Structure 1
């Protein structure tokens, strides 16, 4: 699987020229992301630790003289979508183009004078794998339009604006993790983000220096009921926080006392996951600050997966098999990454063992009758940036 941003840039430029008969004026890239640890903590005002993938979505843009926007994607090159000021209400544009329209709407709703534009999109971020292809699209379009029209949108403000596009315009109740990672990550680092204050720290993640790799295992498992289940998990957390008298589950400081206060076993499991997952993020950050210990980090990843499986109940057979097989084949630890109910597993491995571990997972999937997985090695990469 290619993560070559140059080829993605070339495809976006060629698509733009084919669709609009001219060269783009500005080209921006924004990456997908992997969350190293900290799952379903973001909407609980907690902590996350993502890093950006080398795989990006590229937006090639040029201005028009009218307040009209036309978007074309390599996924639908013969079906450009055009919308105007009058057609910018949330829900007016549907499908893949809604993510681009949502950015235009969010910018204008925040008071920015976004002029018309032609937009062509190309991407190497796997779709439907839990690697935030939607956030990559949003953040690439946001960077390109802000650059094209000279908008004063500070980098620190961009994740919340892109999240508003996804929450309000598209209607997906995501937290701030995906957009923050796509915009704020730095090469060679993981992003330690406080999802309440938006304070961030670049934490060195020197995999290559330690002979390590993060193997991404795209299980190809279809996301099952992910929207409804995601909303249900979020509602459960809000209900538990209200019963415990705290603004968010991040504020639970005595887990045992909190669990004894709750009568509902389901709520207890949800709270236990969020509180212990926040602790695992903090422990991971502390560990990385003092040097990358693969045994310690691997144990934290594996504990996170067990918590998602048993307490938050967001894993499926494919991801459980991938994580267990990777560990059995020699990974230091493995966990599902992303919202759950399908998607990817990450495994912390000795670089020399990535091929062997990938083959072991493929063999286990074949034996179980699952669709063959796709594997690739992820290196911590840069956030959204201008290419041309």
Structure 2
């Protein structure tokens, strides 16, 4: 990729995802003309970057900050209410802006807060994780979790821009970075097989934030999501393919009370649906083996405790992707070719799970 690349996301609310390094000036360009106030929602670890944003706009835009918990603890109604309280006290209006600075959970939360305040105010996403850059911040899905499941409350509300500044990833903990690569690999399995080629050729270089291969893979994954979202913003059809591995993956997250990283849970979910696809005759042995090779090389889990099946099945049936009580799974008919399996029989699901059961 070039030093800075603009990836358009078309469909509802057209905007660009800017991928590059040192993107502070891009934030200046994104700030809505006439904005007087901004609420910057961030994780504790991003406090220094939040201060830098506030200083950048000093004297022009009053930047208020809301520090929220890390990871999925941020995606609670109580945290959203805390943010709404700040917005109300500051009298933030429709010409002002909400900014989300952090990982995928923070951009999910901040986008939801923006979508619901005054029925919608502008939102800018500043993702600081691989997961946030290639998945959560792109596509206009916002939401919070409930005690019944993940992302059950939310809104489709596109941002006015996303800045994927690769410089911020160089200090990201290695485990978090690799977990985020589950979503990069997912884009390889469902669409861009060149991603898988790069990961199998040299996984160390591919996951080195300073390398050009890394930058190219992040951009490629974003292009996959941008192209799909542009066709199907509200997930009425093709966008479902982005849920590859997520039905079981979300169930694992719920069963673990969100102590597992999202990418780790999705890794297990992708191996599970690969095994399910093999069982129903859609994916060959080599395709299943490639899942295990790629995800294993990233240090991601390929198994889950076998005695948790009943809990996982219950959580899956509560998942928002089920329709009329029937589970739906995105499967592969071959690497890079997706299809949908509606309402598979319980014995097929159980048999597929035995292949990932520890």
TM-score by length of 1: 0.31
Structure index of larger Rg = 1
Task: Looking at secondary structure, tell me which structure has more strand per residue.
Answer: 1
Task: Looking at secondary structure, tell me which structure has more helix per residue.
Answer: 2
Per chain length, whose mean CA-contact separation is higher, i.e. which structure has more relative contact order (CA < 8 Å, sep 6+)? 1
